[in-house]
Amino acid sequence: MLPAKCGSLVGFGYDSAGTTGLLNDLWTYDIATNQWTWISGSNTVNQTGNYGTLGTAAATNVPGARQASMSFIDLSGNFWLFGGFDLDSKGNPAALNDLWQFKAGVWTWMSGANVVNQTGVYGTQGVAAATNVPGARWSSAAWTD
């Protein structure tokens, strides 16, 4: 059974003016109406992220433009986005390890850094810890369990 709506986010492509670059636009597609709706991000390329406060949802939060990130939808229908080749909070292009949640129409920066090329903190294999975080990367894979 197909979901009633599905989404598309970010990548390298064309903006509203026909300029190519990194995008941070978030869209939903309604299968029943066969229509797209733009719901977040910019309509122009190469936008930096607005991170706000870690763990705090805000209407002004938005991930920076990126490509080759990974994403998934959790059991509650929330959209999650991790890393990619991105523009960080300062406009620097490279790998990021930022984790974002899109819930109820608002972005929250959940984990990772707001600047590029961060190393991972591995801790002890098999043991969860608040300080653990994957290093910056792009073209990674995702799954839900």
SS3 string, 83-108, reads: EEEEECCCCCEEEEEEEEEEECCEEE
**Which residues are CB-contacts of 21 (< 8 A; sequence separation ≥ 6)?**
12, 15, 45, 46, 65
Q: Is a pLDDT exceeding 50 seen at residue 2?
A: no
pLDDT for the residue numbered 1: 37
Whether the model pTM is above 0.85: yes
Residue whose entry in the numeric block shows the structure tokens 């995702």: 142
How far, in Å, CA of 42 to CA of 9, rounded?
Answer: 11
pLDDT the model gives residue 115: 95
Task: Please list, in sequence order, all residues whose beta carbon lies within 8 angstroms of the beta carbon of residue 44, skipping any fewer than 6 positions away.
Answer: 15, 16, 17, 19
What pLDDT is stored for residue 9 in this prediction?
Answer: 67
At residue 144, the pLDDT reads 73
Mean pLDDT of 6-21: 86
Give the tens place of pLDDT for each residue, 44-103.
999 999 999 999 999 999 999 999 999 988 999 999 999 999 888 998 999 999 999 999
The residue ranking higher by pLDDT, 3 or 40, is 40
pLDDT digits (tens, 9 = 90+) for 16-37: 999 999 999 999 899 999 999 9
What is the per-residue burial (b if ≥16 Cβ within 10 Å, else e) of 30-66? eeeeeeeeeebbbeebbbbbbbbeeeebeeebbbbbb
